[in-house]
């Protein structure tokens, strides 16, 4: 504890008023630093929210693109199977059995790709 003489001066040469002014200035600087930190945290939080929204959109778009590509493959397979069906004369007993097996395999593939609906 610093003792002040009768003129209000400490042994270090500071007056009570100057020490109080310095204390107030330090408090104001501290308050400003806290406000700056809070502002930066708010800015970073907003940026994080924006990145999360952007990331969710990117994942959704990529999943949609992938699903469309798989649907194209499935459509092409169906066309080839239809051609095979026409060429093999599916009216015969063996042709019917092969066709049913191929149809079942295609439905299983569809279920594996898109889940059971």
Task: Give dist(CA 113, CA 102) in Å, integer.
Answer: 16
What is the number of structural domains in the chain?
A: 2
Q: Does residue 66 share a domain with residue 15?
A: no
Mean pLDDT of the chain: 76
* Residue at 85 is within a domain: yes
Q: Does residue 115 share a domain with residue 64?
A: yes
Q: Does residue 117 share a domain with residue 73?
A: yes
Q: What pLDDT digit, counting tens, does each position of 50-86 carry? A: 888 887 777 778 888 888 888 888 888 888 877 777 7
* Residue at 22 is within a domain: yes
Task: Give dist(CA 112, CA 108) in Å, integer.
Answer: 6
Q: 6 lies in which domain range?
A: 1-47
Task: Say if pTM beats, i.e. exceeds, 0.85.
Answer: no
* Residue at 53 is within a domain: no
């Amino acid at each position: 504890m610093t003792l002040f003489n009768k003129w209000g001066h400490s042994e270090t040469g500071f007056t009570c008023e100057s020490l109080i002014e310095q204390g107030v200035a330090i408090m104001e600087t501290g308050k400003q630093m806290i406000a700056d930190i809070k502002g930066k945290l708010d800015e970073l939080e907003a940026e994080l929210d924006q990145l999360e929204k952007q990331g969710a959109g990117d994942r959704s778009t990529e999943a949609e693109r992938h699903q469309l590509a798989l649907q194209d493959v499935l459509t092409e397979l169906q066309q080839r199977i239809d051609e095979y069906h026409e060429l093999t004369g599916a009216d015969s007993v063996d042709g019917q059995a092969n066709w049913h097996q191929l149809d079942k395999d295609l439905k299983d593939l569809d279920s594996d790709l898109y889940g059971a609906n």
